[in-house]
Chains A and B, each alone.
Chain A
Amino acid sequence: MAKDRANPLDYSRKTWMRLCMGFTFVFLYFPIVSLIAFSFNDSKRNITWQGFTLRYYEQAFNNSQLHEAFLNSLIIAGISTTVSTILGAMLGLALYRFRFPAQGPYEGLVHLPIVIPEICMAVAMVAFFATVNMPLGLTTITVSHIAFSIPFVAVVIRARMAGFDRSLEEASRDLGASQWQTFWNVTYPYMKPGLVAGALLAFTLSLDDFVITFFTSGPGSTTFPIKIYSMVRFSVTPEVNAASTVLIVITLALTVAALIIQSRSQGPTHA
Chain B
Amino acid sequence: MPDSNTIITIRNVVKRFGSSVTAVNDVSLDIRRGEFFALLGPSGCGKTTLLRMLAGFESPSEGEILIDGEDMDGVEPNKRSVNMVFQSYAVFPHMTVHQNVAYGLKVAGTPKGEINQRVGEALALVQLESMADRKPDQLSGGQRQRVALARALVKKPKVLLLDEPLSALDAKLREQMQLELVRLQKSVGITFVIVTHDQNEALSMADRIAVMEHGNVLQLAPPAELYEYPNCRFVADFIGKMNLFDGQVVGARDGRVVVRVNALSDRVGDLELPYDGEARGGVGVAIRPEKLRLSSSEPVDEPVRLRTRIMEVVYYGDENHVFLEAGEAKFTANLQNVSRGAHAGVVRGEDVWISWRQEDTLLLTS
Contacts and interface: CB of A to CB of B under 8 A. Distances in A.
A43 to B, nearest CB: 54
A189 B107 CA distance: 16
Contacts of B84: 170-171, 174
Given A170-B86, A172-B103, A177-B107, A186 B92 contact: yes
B83 A269 contact: no
A170 B135 contact: no
Nearest to A268: B135
B99 interface: yes
B202 to A, nearest CB: 23
A268 B87 CA distance: 25
A176 B94 contact: no
A95 to B, nearest CB: 21
Contacts of B135: 268
Nearest to A267: B135
A181 interface: yes
B110 to A, nearest CB: 10
A268 B83 CA distance: 27
Contact of B107 (A168, A185, A190, A265): A185
Could you say which interface size class chain A belongs to?
A: 20 to 34
A10 interface: no
Interface in B89-105: 90, 92-96, 99, 103-104
Contact of B94 (A167, A177, A189): A189
B57 interface: yes
A7 interface: no
Interface string A198-228: 0000000000000000000000000000000
Contacts of A64: none
A236 to B, nearest CB: 49
Contact of B155 (A175, A185, A190, A268): A175
B76 interface: yes
Nearest to A190: B94
B88 interface: yes
A260 interface: no
Contacts of A167: 86-88, 90
Interface string A133-176: 00000000000000000000000000000000101101111111
A190 B90 CA distance: 13
Contacts of A181: 107
A171 B92 CA distance: 9
B151 interface: yes
A269 B86 contact: no
B296 to A, nearest CB: 57
A165 B94 CA distance: 13
Contact of A175 (B56, B94, B96, B103): B103
Given A171-B92, A189-B94, A190-B94, A178 B86 contact: no
Given A174-B77, A177-B78, A165 B103 contact: no
Contact of B83 (A168, A175, A189): A175
B108 interface: yes
B83 A185 contact: no
Q: Which of A170, A178, A189, A190 has the most CB of B within 10 A?
A: A170
A176 B86 contact: no
B301 to A, nearest CB: 58
B31 interface: no
A102 interface: no
B107 A175 contact: yes
Given A175-B103, A175-B151, A268-B135, A170 B94 contact: no
A16 B93 CA distance: 44
B79 to A, nearest CB: 8
A186 B99 CA distance: 12
A20 interface: no
A174 B55 contact: yes
Most A CB contacts (10 A, CB to CB) among B78, B86, B87, B108 go to B78
Contacts of B104: 175-177
Contacts of B95: 269, 271
Interface in A248-271: 265, 268-269, 271
A271 B99 contact: yes
A169 B93 CA distance: 12
A135 B83 CA distance: 58
A182 to B, nearest CB: 8
Given A175-B151, A268-B135, A170 B57 contact: yes
Contacts of A178: 78, 107
Contacts of B57: 170, 173-174
Contact of A176 (B88, B93, B99, B108): B108
Given A171-B84, A271-B95, 6 more contacts: A167-B87, A170-B84, A172-B92, A175-B104, A176-B107, A269-B95
Interface of B: 55-57, 76-78, 83-84, 86-88, 90, 92-96, 99, 103-104, 107-108, 135, 148, 151-152, 155
29 contacts: A167-B86, A167-B87, A167-B90, A168-B93, A170-B84, A171-B90, A171-B148, A171-B151, A172-B92, A172-B107, A173-B57, A174-B56, A174-B57, A174-B77, A174-B152, A175-B103, A175-B107, A175-B152, A176-B104, A176-B108, A176-B155, A177-B104, A177-B107, A185-B103, A185-B107, A190-B93, A265-B94, A268-B96, A271-B99
* 10 residue pairs, one from A and one from B, having the closest CB atoms: A175-B104, A171-B90, A167-B90, A177-B107, A173-B77, A167-B86, A189-B94, A176-B78, A174-B84, A176-B108
